[in-house]
Structure 1
Amino acid sequence: MNSYTKNITPYVQEQLSKADQSDRLGNVADSFVYLENAHVLGQESTYWHVKVHYLMLRWAIKQRDMNEAIGQMIRIIGAVLFTAIKGVPTGNTGGSNVSLVKVMPIKPEHAEIIAKVKKQHNSTSEKD
């Protein structure tokens, strides 16, 4: 596990926990918003990028949303193939309601987390 993946993990897991809690309370729209947040935070990590798309796929199947499910299957393949070569559009929320290649603004609180994690990642990489 690279240092970016390791350092972003608690932030992604926090969003996934909120998604799970919202889902259990029947707030499925909120649940997907938290999955989108997790996607934005984790999309530079192949592990988290693929995992969040898988969780979005599960969400779509549970909602019987076949358009979203098909979109997520395509995105899982893209995440596997392109994340490691930096082929991901920054800020993209990951749902099939947005283009695969659309760059989107990042919420300030998420941008701050990503910058902090990248700084940690770069300082760790320099020590290696």
Structure 2
Amino acid sequence: MKRTFTRAVAPFVRAELDQAREAENAGDPAQAFRYLERAHVVGQASTYWHVKVHGLMFLWALRQHAPGEAVGQVIRTVGAATKTALGLVPEGNTGGANVSPFRRMPVEPELAAMIRKARAGH
């Protein structure tokens, strides 16, 4: 039986989230956010992972005292919860408040490979 995308992409998203946590614990919040962005790109086709990553971005914004990012993440979390299942996800979008939530962006080759593997059920 073929695994769902959400289950298949989980190890890839979790690896990026682990890296984010490590970077933040090491005192590098900017690098931590870059890993959250990577997790967003990889998991955004899954409502579960899309919402979870935006929630983690929101918590990051609170810890960094970044009110603009926090507000942006609230809006993006609602969008992720209501639009992902409809396929209304701009491929490659990094998910931060510094980019339009509707903007398609190029996907790094390493991340594209993760997405392909997950779509193939690996």
Instruction: State the TM-score, normalizing by the size of structure 1.
Output: 0.91
1:21 aligns with 2:22: yes
Q: Cα deviations across residues 46-85 of structure 1 (Å, max 9, x unaligned)?
A: 0000000000000000000000000000000000000000
Q: Cα deviations across residues 1-57 of structure 1 (Å, max 9, x unaligned)?
A: x61000000000000000000000110000000000000000000000000000000
Name the counterpart of 1:124: none
Instruction: State the TM-score, normalizing by the size of structure 2.
Output: 0.96
Task: Provide structure 1 residue ranges, at least 5 long, that are not aligned to the other structure.
Answer: 122-128
- Describe the SS at the equivalent of 2:92: coil
Question: Equivalent residues in 2 for 1:1-128 (5 A)?
Answer: 3-120=4-121
Q: Root-mean-square deviation (CA), in Å?
A: 1.0
State the one-letter code of the partner of 2:112: A
Task: Provide structure 2 residue ranges, at least 5 long, that are not aligned to the other structure.
Answer: none
What is the CA distance between 1:119 and its match in structure 2?
1.9
State the number of aligned residues. Answer: 120
State the one-letter code of the partner of 2:49: W
Counterparts of 2:89 and 2:69, CA distance in 1: 19
**Larger-gyration structure (1/2):** 1
Deviating 4+ runs (over 2 angstroms)? none
What is the CA distance between 1:120 and its match in structure 2?
2.0
Counterparts of 2:89 and 2:17, CA distance in 1: 20
**Identity between Structure 1 and Structure 2 (%):** 48
